[in-house]
Amino acid sequence: MKICLKVLSIFCFCFLLIGCENDNNKELIDKVNDLEDKLDYLLEENGLNSNIDSSNNNEVINDGEGNTTIDTSEIENTLNSYGDEANNILSNINNLKIPSNRSETIDLFFEWKSTIDKLDSKLDFYEDELESFYYNNKLSYSDYRKYDYEIESIEDILDKAEDTLEFKTNYDD
């Protein structure tokens, strides 16, 4: 009798789990489909094409074969400006005079750290903008990669500036 109760309770538990699983899966699928419909509506409302296909066929907006259709001189000027700014920050940090007062040293650290972070944020935003140009077929893959590498090299300069700042102030946030 005890064995029958145990087997029966195990079967009931299994059926309970299977029943819940099917309802949850259906509910999740319905939510995903609803979100895809809302996304399609918003994209259409803003004049953009959706690359989401309800049959789960992942289409690529830019296949890398496109040509650059925008003037790249502005991009190059912007990246040169950011590169010069990063080099100036590094140079200034290399020539930094560290005060003997620890509190002033920490204040100096955060002053320069915020300068580094501001430029880093500008670079992140600009990198997103270039990626948007690429995905909207305004920038070729080779140009996108070239500018992305330039941004990475500027970020390396900022990393070096931050490391130097931490070393000179003997402070790491």
101-120 confidence digits (pLDDT tens): 999 999 999 999 999 999 99
Kindly report the pTM of this predicted structure: 0.63
Mean per-residue pLDDT, 112-130: 96
Structural domain count of the chain: 2
Same domain, 88 and 126: yes
Structure tokens at 146: 């070239």
Residue 64 belongs to some domain of the structure = no
One DSSP character per residue, 9-23 reads HHHHHHHHHHHHHHH
Question: Is residue 99 domain-shared with residue 146, that is, in the same domain?
Answer: yes
Q: Do 55 and 79 sit in the same domain of this protein?
A: no
**108, 169 Cβ separation under 8 angstroms:** yes
Domain for residue 65, yes or no?
no
